Amino acid sequence: MPRTSHWIVRRLSHLDGMLLVLVLLLLGVSLAVVVSASGQNPARISGHLINMGLALGVMVVMANVPPHLLSRVGPPLFFAGVVLLIGVALFGEVRNGSRRWLNLGFMSFQPSELLKLALPLTLAWYFQRNEAVLRAKHFLVGGVLLLVPFLLILRQPDLGTALMLGASGFYLLFFAGLPWKVIFGGGVLGAASLPVVWSLMHDYQQRRVLTLLDPTSDPLGAGYHIIQSTIAIGSGGLFGKGWMQGTQSQLDFIPERTTDFVFAVFGEEFGYVGVILLIGLYLAIVARGLVIAARAPTLFGRLMAATLSLNLFTYAFVNIGMVSGILPVVGVPLPLMSYGGTALITLLLGMGILMSVATHRQLNKS
């Protein structure tokens, strides 16, 4: 018994206290909102609790994996991910007009999920390997590593995921020191190519952008979600209507209200004060992550910590922006708030990596 408890204490000592508290706070809020949004549906609540338990377990495990071991997992995962993406392109299942799912017989999943972690891991591993001799060509290789899965996912088509993956790859290149002139040059080029991109977009994607610009143009169709969620948020006011008191939420006006649109429920029931606190929690996590990045002993650790932190906030921004009507509806869940096992596990896996970086301070032995 003493040995077991000692082992447990050692395992738990790799958790970052501050991050843990922040994550648990967010999960607590998430539980409260899902209880309300699901109409106290026991299956939803217990499912959410199980997902949280699993994800927290994954986080504890990841926190104990030293970064140098982690960095080696990246390339094979990346390779596997890209192979699977090609598999999807060839044999994938079509759902809702796009080819995203791979049916493995017993389960089906989206390989793009795998790459959300594999891409930064691989890029960080790659830059770590070439740390001493970093040159322009390494950024070029990094760019290619980023573009391959990006384009594969884009042609599924899954614009949202592709952009999110692109953002995480870009963050990593940015923190690795991608020259400013390349960034600005790319920015100008990107802006110039917007019309081309627009013409390459699928009808439904164009429609989404258009209804975003004017949701009232299609109040019964694509604009309905945005209209209803902005009504929910706006009607919440400063202090909200109170937990389980949101009329928009409780009377089914908000679609997908335990998953993608959970922020609308939160905004309606907890008001602007709640929104400030929620965004404050995300900012605190980002701040902690950036501190961890600043203190990390290895380039791999620094790049991973900084990228994961910014990535988390990007997800939150895209989701809240979409639900409150300033970004297109792209189907991104709200990190640590939305109901859904895969996303929660992926996120806490990232938190585990952050904690691992924070608590494994010695230089690699390699």
Partner 1 sequence: MSLATQLKNLDRELARFHGRLKVGAAFVALLATALLARGFYLQVVQHDHYIQRAESNRTSRVPAAPSRGLILDRNNRILAENYSAYTLELTQAKTDDLEATLAMVGTLIEISPGQLRRFRRLLSESHEFETVPLKSKLTDEEVAIIAANRYRLPGVEVKARLFRNYQAGPGMAHVLGFVGRINDRDLKKLREDGREQNYKGSAHIGKTGLEQSYESLLHGRTGFDQMETDASGRAVRMLSRIAPVPGKDLRLHLDAGLQAVAEQAFGDYLGGLVALDPNTGGVLALVSRPGFDPNLFVDGIDPETWKALNESPDRPMVNRALRGVYPPGSTIKPLLALAGLELGLRKPSDSIKDPGFFSLPSSSHQFRDWKRGGHGVVDLRRSISQSCDVYYYQLAVDMGIDRMHDYLAKYGLGEKTGIDLDGESSGLLPSRDWKQRRWNKSWYPGETVIAGIGQGYHLTTPLQLAVATAMLANGGIRIEPRLVQAVRDPHAQIWQPQAGGARVQVAITPEHLDVVREGMMDVMRPGGTAARAAAGAPYTIAGKTGTAQVVGIKQGARYEASQLAREHLDHALFIAYAPTENPTIVVAVVVENGGSGSGTAAPIARKVFDYYLTGKLPDDMKPEAGLVNE
Which residues sit at the interface with partner 1, rule CB under 8 A?
Answer: 131-132, 134, 171, 174-175, 177, 228, 230-238, 247-248, 251-253, 267, 271-272, 275-276, 279, 282-283, 286-287, 290, 293-294, 299, 302, 306, 309-310, 313-314, 317, 320-321, 324-326
- How far apart CA 174 and CA 139 sit, in angstroms, is 10
Minimum distance from CB of 249 to partner 1 (Å)?
10
Considering the complex, state which of residue 70 and residue 176 has its C-beta at the smaller distance from partner 1.
Answer: 176
Considering the complex, state which of residue 134 and residue 188 has its C-beta at the smaller distance from partner 1.
Answer: 134
Minimum distance from CB of 260 to partner 1 (Å)?
16
Residues 6+ apart with CB under 8 A from 91: 102
Residue keyed to tokens 């929690």: 281
**Alpha carbon 126 to its chain's center:** 22
Asked whether 44 and 84 are in contact (CB, 8 A), the reply is no
Listing DSSP states for 132-180 in one string gives GG--HHHHHHHHHHHHHHHHHHHTTT-HHHHHHHHHHHHHHHHHTT--H
Minimum distance from CB of 164 to partner 1 (Å)?
14
- How far apart CA 52 and CA 55 sit, in angstroms, is 5
Minimum distance from CB of 198 to partner 1 (Å)?
23
- How far apart CA 38 and CA 47 sit, in angstroms, is 11
Residue keyed to tokens 């377990």: 57
Question: Residue 108 is inside which H or E element, if any?
Answer: strand 108-109
Considering the complex, state which of residue 87 and residue 255 has its C-beta at the smaller distance from partner 1.
Answer: 255
Considering the complex, state which of residue 50 and residue 287 has its C-beta at the smaller distance from partner 1.
Answer: 287
Minimum distance from CB of 94 to partner 1 (Å)?
26
Considering the complex, state which of residue 49 and residue 283 has its C-beta at the smaller distance from partner 1.
Answer: 283
Minimum distance from CB of 154 to partner 1 (Å)?
23
Considering the complex, state which of residue 15 and residue 327 has its C-beta at the smaller distance from partner 1.
Answer: 327
* Whole-Å CA distances, 92 to 41, 85, 115, 157, 343: 33, 9, 17, 12, 21
Considering the complex, state which of residue 78 and residue 175 has its C-beta at the smaller distance from partner 1.
Answer: 175
Query: Would you call 102 exposed, middle or buried from its count of C-beta atoms within 10 A (0-12, 13-18, 19+)?
Result: middle
Minimum distance from CB of 4 to partner 1 (Å)?
40
Considering the complex, state which of residue 156 and residue 229 has its C-beta at the smaller distance from partner 1.
Answer: 229
- How far apart CA 150 and CA 169 sit, in angstroms, is 9
Question: Residue 304 is inside which H or E element, if any?
Answer: helix 299-323
Minimum distance from CB of 307 to partner 1 (Å)?
9
- β-bridge partners, 93: 101
